[in-house]
Amino acid sequence: MGLVYFIGHGHTPCPSVEPSHHQQILIIGLNGAHHVNVQFCGCEKTPSWVEHYRQLLRMRWFPASFDRPKTAFTFDLLDTYHKLTLQGKLNLYDFHASIMQKTDNCGRKKAIVSLRYEW
């Protein structure tokens, strides 16, 4: 649909970044895995500039890598898994399978964990 999620500047486009400059990130939450177009704040010359992984953490999305985040997990997902592990002794494989079933219950598509980064 072309929707872009703006991080920083009160969810408005960053004035230092071109409006068409965004990247796709895989966000995994309790309702499934979703590819989201995200535009990070790019004000590198100001003292308030923040790295991409910190911008994701402020959105309550935990990045899978801190160098070039392409996948993130919602804090709600991580908290739910933590509680299910402690109380119900649920293993990670079954939890992951249930979240992926919410994304595609027919099993027609192979689950994509992350997008490949082109050097």
If one counts the domains in the chain, the total is 1
Q: Is residue 30 part of a domain?
A: yes
Number of Cβ atoms within 10 Å of the Cβ of 84: 15
Out of 45-49, 71-75, 79-83, 86-90, pick the least confident.
Answer: 45-49
In this prediction, residue 16 carries a pLDDT of 81
Structure tokens, 76: 């709600």
- Domain membership of residue 93 (yes or no) is yes
- Listed in sequence order, the residues at least 6 apart from 38 whose beta carbon sits closer than 8 Å to its beta carbon are 4, 5, 6, 7, 22, 23, 24, 25
Task: Classify residue 46: in a domain, yes or no.
Answer: yes
Give the structural domain span for 58: 5-103
What pLDDT score does 118 carry?
47
Residue at 116 is within a domain: no
For residue 109, tell me if it sits in a domain: no
Asked whether residue 119 is domain-assigned, the answer is no
The confidence score (pLDDT) of residue 119 equals 40
Whether 35 is covered by a domain: the verdict is yes
- Summarize pLDDT for 7-32 with one digit per residue, the tens: 878 778 888 878 778 899 999 999 99
Question: Could you tell me which residues come within 8 angstroms of residue 32 by beta carbon, excluding any fewer than 6 positions away?
Answer: 99, 100, 102, 103
The reply to whether 117 falls in a domain is no
